[in-house]
Each structure stands twice: as C-alpha cells, then as structure tokens.
A and B are shown apart, each in its own frame.
Chain A
Amino acid sequence: MNGTPLHRLGFRAVRVTADLGAMARFGGQVLRATFRPPLRVGRLVDAVYDVGVLSLPIVMGSGLAVGMVLGLQGYNTLVRFGAEESLGAVVGLSLIRELGPVLTGLLVTGRAGSAVAAEIGAMVATEQLDGLRMMSIDPVHLVVKSKAAAMLLAMPLLSALFICTALLGGYLVGVQVLGVDGGSYLSSLESAVEFRADVVGSLLKALVFGALVGLVATYRGYHSRPTSAGVSAATTATVVTASVTILVFDLFITALWGV
C-alpha cells in the first residue's frame, strides 16, 4: 500500500477494527445458532472427540514434561532456603493459577484450533458451504456451532488433565528422584491450593480461552479465501491470533480478577 507511514498505520488500524467487529458479529451468529434447534448432539460429540480426545496425548505428554521441569526448577530454588518441603505448593499454584490454562490453550490452539480452521477453510475452497446455502442450510448451524462449542467444553477438561499430569510429573521428580518427602509434597499442595479461588478460577480461565480459540478458529476458517493459499493463511492466522489473544486475556483476567 502507498502513503506515509501514518497513512499505513491508520489503514491498518481501520482494518483491524473492522476485523474485530466482523469477528464479534460472527460470534453473535454462532451464539444464536447454538441455541436454535436442532441441537445436533451427534455432531457435538464428534467435535468433542476431535478437539478433546485427539488432543489428549499432546496435552498429557506436555503436562508431564512441564511438571518435571517445574519440580526440578522449584527444588533447586527452594533448597537454597531449606524450603524444599513446599515443593508441592509451588508446583501446584504455578500450574493451577497460570501454566495449566495458558499452556493448554496454546497447545490446543496449535493442534485443534488450526485443524478446525483448515477443515472449515477447505470446505469454503471446495464450495461445500455454498452447497449448504443452496440447500437452505445455514453453514454456521450445521458446521460451525458444534466445533466452537466443542472447543469451549473441551478446554477446561484438557486443562484439568494437563494440571493433574503435571502435578504427577512434579511428584515423580521431586519425591522419587530428588528425595523430597512424599507426604510433605502432597500436604503443602493441599494446604496452599484453595478450591474456589484457585481451582474454579483456573477452570473459568480455561473456559474463556476455549471460547476465544473456538471463535478465532471458526471465524478464520469461515472467512478464508477459497484457495489452498487462503486455507494456509487462515490456519496460520488462527494460531497467531488465538495465541496472542490467550496471552493478552490472561493478563487482563489475572490483573482484574486476581485468578
């Protein structure tokens, strides 16, 4: 685009604002479609399987690795102060309040968010959505709403599994390898974590991230250009936009709600 840097900045700002507005309108469409019968339970179950069950290996594998690293790092820091008995509390609070929802959000964006955008984008490129429109079937109702809802439902569950696996990883390193007392690990974890403030807050955070990833992935796929390059661009944009959005929203949620 031609023009001064100020022109270009203004043009980009207008484009981003218009894009955000279009995404919000699309979110409204998806929300209305979600509550309009038929509910399409079968398609929702299939989508939860695609988003949730197929993400289990990567989420649990990553959770184990992150927990082990936290165990090692936490022990090395705590042992300097003779406070290694608090390892369970450090690992647990880090995971439940922050790392669990955020890292699960980023992992699910990379695996399932990109897949959803690519699938819907491919349907645009092969005129499948136009085919539905010509049959008087709303593509948002038949295709989009179940995928967005699946992301919303699966994210808190995946986040909880990530946290549990990571706690196990921290326990294995701290207790089995480094010799921290197992009872101390568990009791410090239990006494430090509050159910309402930490666990429920963590699940709500994951729910918000699930809604964001679901919206971004379906919006980018639905509005992709009908070419293979367009599908590729939509997939990349999904990963970038959703990842940045998760991190920004995490900052606001933590700052405003203290979760």
Chain B
Amino acid sequence: MNGAFHVELEHVALSFGERAVFGDLCCGFPRGRISALLGGSGSGKSTVLRLIGGLLRPDRGAVRVDGVDVARLEDAELSRSRRKIGMTFQAGALLDAMTVFENVALPLREHTRMPEAELVERVRGRLADVGLSDAGDLLPGQLSGGMIKRAALARAVIMEPEMLLCDEPFSDLDPLNVRRIEALLRELNERLGLTIVMATHHLDTAFSMASWMVLLGDRETVSGPPKDLARDVTPRVVEFLGAASPGRTPGAHP
C-alpha cells in the first residue's frame, strides 16, 4: 500500500445486475488532503463513496481504508471502522422524524457520554459553522435543499472524524453558502488534518479547494494534482473539463 494514500481502490469491479459500473477501477485519495472526485452523471462517483464507506461491497478487488480492506470486514468491525468516517449524502439523509438539532446531536448521544451542556454547545457551534443557528428546532421537511445539505455536513463532522466523504456538497447551495461550506471544509482539513473526498460537478470549487483529483471515465481513471489534470491533453480529460468549462484549452485551469 502507498502510505501517502488514506484510501486506495485496487482493481475494483462492481455490477448492479447486468450493468457493470466498474470493470477494473484503481485510484487512491491522499491522507490529510482535499480530493475532488470528478466524472459525468452516472460515472459512479457516489458509488465510489459508498464503496469507501462499506455500504457497498465490490464483486472483485479491494477497498483499503487505512490499509484495511473494508470489503472483507464483518459487520461489527465495519461499524467500528466507520467511527472514523463522516459522510454526507446527496439528499442529506437526515432522519425526518427528528429536528435538525437532534439529528446533529445523534452521533454524540449514541457514542459518547458527553454532558448535556457540552453537547448542546458543540451542536450549536457546528450549526453556526454551517449558518443554521436558527434552524435547530426545525424538522428536515421544513428546510430547503441547501439547508438540508448544510445540516447533513454539520452532522457528518460533529464527531470530528479522520475522513469526510461528501456527495455533491455544493449542489443546491447559493454562492454565499458555497463560500461558507468551502471555508468550513478548509478549516476542518487544516485544523484536524481531515482527509476529504468530495464527489462534485462544481469544477471551479474543485480546482480552488482540492489538491488531488480523480476523474472517473468509462475505460480509464485519471488522477493527480489539479495542475497536472488541467494540463492533461488526454482526449477524455480535455473533453470533460472542456464541457464543464466551455472555451477551455488544456492548461487553462489554474
């Protein structure tokens, strides 16, 4: 295993029934850095995150997190290993019978014996970080799509995990909140050394935040620092980055 990588997918094959999602996927995500997972719709970005989280098991190959193949873990071991991982889902996945405050507090109540006053302070702090100070008493059904995304992020980082998996963290957000979430993710990455893997369509945000990129393709996967990807003249990379940023020529991104 390459020690610089927190997560490595080695020769992963996965099919849903007749449909093959990955034939032989190999890629890695460096420890303590922000990585952007790019690719067209249906390319399998969310599936990669679910494989890393152990929510899906590959048909073949290994998914190593901290050197341990999560695809081979028993349920109890897998559950323990997830304590180090936070994850946000595309639709938020907040429990709709609980208020925003209760949702964010849930991991703390389940896994710690934190005094109530400290818990309340921690949850309020996280809600303030994502701009939801006044939304603690609301139910998820009363929130906008962007607010749900932000509440889900607050819940994912409340336990201060070692790794954060974000599925489209910037969709449904207005520009002000895109900046707010960018700042929060950067702060968590710098303060806690958090490894962040974000599946996103937001190329500008990806280029401004990520220090590592993985572009999923039909036949091959390209990965490397953003500057290398921006200079890449492989037709597949040029096509994807050009379609996302019309008028782009190789090397045009920072």
Q: Which residues of A are at the interface with B, using a C-beta cutoff of 8 A? A: 123, 126-128, 130-138, 142
Contacts and interface: CB of A to CB of B under 8 A. Distances in A.
A127 B168 CA distance: 15
B132 to A, nearest CB: 17
Given A136-B83, A138-B79, A131 B89 contact: yes
B94 interface: yes
Interface stretch (B104-112, B192-200, B205-213): B104-112
Given A126-B96, A128-B96, A137 B91 contact: no
Contact of B93 (A127, A136, A137, A138): A127
A136 B81 CA distance: 8
A108 to B, nearest CB: 21
Interface magnitude class on chain B: 20 to 34
A131 B86 CA distance: 9
Contact of B95 (A128, A133, A134): A128
Contacts of A134: 53, 55, 82, 85-87
The dominant DSSP class at the A interface is: helix
B94 A128 contact: yes
Interface of B: 50, 53, 55, 79-80, 82-83, 85-87, 89-91, 93-96, 106-107, 110-111, 152, 155, 159
A137 B86 CA distance: 12
Contact of A133 (B55, B90, B106, B152): B55
A30 B37 CA distance: 37
A136 B82 contact: yes
18 contacts: A123-B95, A126-B96, A127-B93, A130-B55, A131-B87, A133-B79, A133-B82, A134-B53, A134-B82, A134-B85, A134-B86, A135-B155, A136-B79, A136-B82, A136-B83, A136-B111, A137-B106, A138-B79
Contacts of B79: 133, 136, 138
A128 B80 CA distance: 19
Nearest to B55: A130
A126 B91 contact: yes
A130 B94 CA distance: 10
Contacts of B80: 136
A147 B94 CA distance: 19
